[in-house]
Amino acid sequence: MEKLGVEFYQRQDTVQLARELIGKIIVTRFDSFTTSARIVETEAYNGIKDRASHAFGGRHTNRTRIMYLPGGTIYVYLCYGIHHLFNVVTNVADEPHAVLIRSAVGMKGMDTILNRLGKSSLKHDLLKGPGVVSKGLGITIAATGTSLLDNQIALHDDGYEVNTASLIATPRIGVDYAGEDALLPYRFVNSTTIGLK
């Protein structure tokens, strides 16, 4: 079990990186509660030429400035006024690439995860959906701009390997406004994980 280092995040190929994040483990520590979950679904947002990205065309606002920070930074933003979506900034500084974490499978601290979600029964798809991943792991917009190299939120590699045949690529969800970029196969899913297609 080792923490991913800055050299992992600062590579240039964000689409490949999104693929490699499948199977990695998110570990969060808040208020002495540790929770962890294995990533099973991601989406790549591939820089200023990607119409689906908040940073398309080099858009630089108070919200998106986080995406221009170096790879390994955490980008969280509020969606639909309710959901805190957790993204991993990739590539070097001033190249605004990111990977959205869409789904995971809980590992440690299941009682804490259930509490945060207001649920009582364990289901394999408990952390399916980007808003739910953040909620279950305690990640909020307060974490935007902080680093994955710190200990509050980090990603780990425990040697788990995804069977290549079960790792599928599809278009991204909910980006119809992005024109033909909406068709790019930038979403990755570990299809052996039950409940995700």
Partner DNA sequence: CGACCGATCGTCT
Partner DNA sequence: GACGATCGGTCGA
Q: Rounded CA gap, 188 and 173, in Å?
A: 11
- The minimum distance between CB 61 and DNA, in angstroms, equals 3
- The minimum distance between CB 150 and DNA, in angstroms, equals 21
Residues near 78 by beta carbon (within 8 Å), at least 6 away in sequence? 84, 85, 141
Residue 64 binds DNA, judged by CB under 7 A: yes
Q: Rounded CA gap, 61 and 42, in Å?
A: 24
Residue 61 binds DNA, judged by CB under 7 A: yes
Pick between residue 2 and residue 180 the one whose CB is nearest to DNA: 180
Residue 91 binds DNA, judged by CB under 7 A: no
Lookup result for tokens 């200990």:
151
Residue 130 binds DNA, judged by CB under 7 A: yes
Binding window for DNA (CB under 7 A); candidates: 13-21, 124-132, 158-166, 184-192: 124-132
Site string for DNA, 1-40 (x = CB under 7 A): ----------------------------------------
Q: Rounded CA gap, 122 and 18, in Å?
A: 27
Strands (DSSP E) contained in the chain are 2-3, 25-30, 33-45, 74-79, 83-90, 97-106, 127-128, 153-157, 167-170, 187-190
- The minimum distance between CB 62 and DNA, in angstroms, equals 5
Among 31, 121, 161, 177, binds DNA (CB under 7 A): 177
Q: Rounded CA gap, 112 and 138, in Å?
A: 9
Contact set with DNA (CB under 7 A): 43, 45, 52-54, 59, 61-64, 77-83, 85, 87, 98, 100, 117, 128-133, 141, 172-175, 177
